């Protein structure tokens, strides 16, 4: 037998983490890595946060799981906190980001179909978006590498250029149900929507009675320096998907909606066995205890500015390698002049620092939100050693 025990869908590298210590990971072979990837924007409290560990331990001893057939004091309390912190009036808990986007897509379609507008099923999405790996969420993205082998796609998605408001306006037709968009594209390369674009989409939704769905699975939960990125654009969505950081490493997500948007999500319309179980709620509670604090978020913005400032100064030393630095909060992209994967591998294998590549030749810098200046110093030291020693030939 030559297939690996883990279905071979990931190009796994030689780092094999077995333990986490705050902002570092320790590999099976004893090597210690500075983790500025955070499990792709997940471990926002680092790897050994006492509050998160304590909450999960306590919940494990008390009650891990019950069916959604029963009342949920744990779920109601966390939903209420999210409602108070955001635009939302109601919440559906999921186990992943893709499921949160699935629920958002279903909520938008159900909004129209609930009142008999069955023809309004099409969502307009944007090129280089990433919404997950289920059939609906790959259908929502134009990326052919995710479609290959899985055709036919689900019908009802149309892809336009990101940040092109005129195209969005022109694309609205009788079948349009709404827009699905990341306010800051993560996998696409930390590409930030313009204020004009998101405000324009909001106005189009109001004018044509369409649903504005924001996918904040990566940009949310403090990553971009506000609890949700949309707060920085002067708009609110009708529906929002959140996951990744919201459990701090515990697998959980959520679909948030206004009362109006959720009018089709009636009894029997949707479900999930694990969704919102007490274990997951304990994790979200511990994360929100830290991240929903305005002082903490101000600190994330300040740390992001310091890190971006230092990166901007630094990249000028290697004009053949680096092009620019962009981002919000600790959601940072370094745009390279080369394909970034070999450089990410070089930083990892030769300088023990973890980052993630993205589209548009970008290296994503996604540290835990709890870093301090010593971690920024360590990152800059390792990055500058990596840039000094980088030989473009050594392709990993």
- The least CB distance from residue 228 to ligand PLP, in Å, is 12
Torsion of CA 289, 293, 295, 299, to 10 degrees: 70
Count how many residues are written for the chain.
Answer: 396
Instruction: Report residue 228: phi and psi, to 5°.
Output: -125, 145
- The least CB distance from residue 345 to ligand PLP, in Å, is 21
- The least CB distance from residue 173 to ligand PLP, in Å, is 25
- The least CB distance from residue 241 to ligand PLP, in Å, is 7
Using Cβ positions, the residue closest to ligand PLP within the complex turns out to be: 97
197 marked as part of a ligand binding site: no
217 marked as part of a ligand binding site: yes
**Closest CB to ligand PLP among residues 176, 218:** 218
- How far is the C-alpha of 53 from the C-alpha of 320, rounded, in Å? 44
For 234: left if phi > 0, alpha if psi spans -120 to 50, otherwise beta; the answer is: left
**Closest CB to ligand PLP among residues 98, 168:** 98
- The least CB distance from residue 213 to ligand PLP, in Å, is 11
- How far is the C-alpha of 170 from the C-alpha of 204, rounded, in Å? 11
**Closest CB to ligand PLP among residues 186, 237:** 186
**Closest CB to ligand PLP among residues 215, 238:** 215
Site for ligand PLP, rule CB under 6 A: 96-98, 101, 130-132, 182, 186-187, 215, 217-218, 243-244
216 marked as part of a ligand binding site: yes
Nearest by Cα to 192 from 167, 225, 146, 166: 225
133 marked as part of a ligand binding site: yes
358 marked as part of a ligand binding site: no
**Closest CB to ligand PLP among residues 82, 217:** 217
259 marked as part of a ligand binding site: no
**Closest CB to ligand PLP among residues 132, 329:** 132
DSSP 132: -
134 marked as part of a ligand binding site: no
C-alpha 161 chain-centroid distance? 20
Residue 281, token pair as written in the block: 């709620």
Q: DSSP states of 316-371 as a string?
A: TT-TTTEEEEEEETTEEEEEESS-SHHHHHHHHHHH-EE-EEETTTEEEE---TT-
- The least CB distance from residue 320 to ligand PLP, in Å, is 30
Nearest by Cα to 154 from 86, 207, 214, 98: 98
218 marked as part of a ligand binding site: yes
Binding residues for N(2)-acetyl-L-ornithine are 133, 272
Binding residues for pyridoxal 5'-phosphate are 97-98, 130, 215-218, 273
């Amino acid at each position: 037998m030559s297939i690996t025990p883990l279905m071979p869908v990931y190009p796994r590298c030689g780092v094999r983490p077995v333990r986490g210590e705050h902002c570092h990971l320790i590999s099976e072979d004893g090597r210690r890595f500075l983790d500025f990837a955070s499990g792709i924007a997940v471990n926002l409290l680092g790897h050994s946060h006492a509050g998160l560990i304590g909450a999960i331990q306590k919940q494990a001893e008390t009650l891990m799981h019950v069916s959604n057939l029963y009342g949920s004091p744990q779920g109601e309390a966390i939903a209420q906190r999210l409602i108070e912190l955001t635009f939302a009036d109601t919440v559906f808990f999921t186990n992943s980001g893709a499921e949160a986007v699935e629920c958002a897509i279903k909520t938008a379609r159900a909004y129209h179909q609930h009142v008999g507008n069955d023809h309004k099923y099409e969502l307009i999405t944007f090129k280089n978006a990433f919404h997950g790996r289920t059939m609906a969420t790959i259908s929502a993205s134009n990326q052919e590498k995710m479609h290959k082998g899985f055709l036919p796609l689900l019908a009802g998605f149309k892809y336009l250029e990101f940040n092109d408001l005129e195209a969005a306006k022109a694309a609205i037709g009788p079948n349009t149900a709404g827009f699905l968009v990341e306010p800051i594209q993560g996998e696409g390369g930390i590409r930030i929507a313009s204020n004009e674009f998101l405000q324009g989409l909001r106005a189009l939704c109001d004018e044509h009675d369409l649903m504005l769905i924001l996918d904040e699975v990566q940009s949310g939960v403090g990553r971009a320096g506000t609890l949700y990125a949309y707060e920085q654009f002067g708009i609110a969505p009708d529906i929002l998907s959140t996951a990744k950081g919201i459990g701090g490493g515990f697998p959980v997500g959520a679909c948030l909606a206004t009362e109006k948007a959720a009018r089709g999500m009636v009894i029997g319309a949707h479900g999930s066995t694990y969704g919102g179980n007490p274990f997951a709620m304990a994790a979200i509670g511990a994360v929100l205890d830290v991240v929903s604090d305005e002082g903490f978020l101000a600190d994330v913005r300040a740390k992001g500015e310091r890190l971006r400032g230092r990166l901007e100064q630094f990249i000028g030393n290697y004009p053949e390698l680096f092009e620019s630095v962009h981002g919000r909060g600790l959601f940072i992209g370094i745009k390279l002049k080369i394909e970034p994967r070999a450089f990410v591998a070089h930083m990892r294998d030769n300088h023990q620092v973890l980052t993630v590549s993205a589209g548009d030749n970008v290296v994503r810098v996604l540290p835990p939100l709890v870093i301090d200046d010593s971690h920024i110093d360590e990152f800059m030291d390792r990055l500058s050693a990596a840039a000094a020693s980088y030989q473009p030939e050594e392709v990993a």
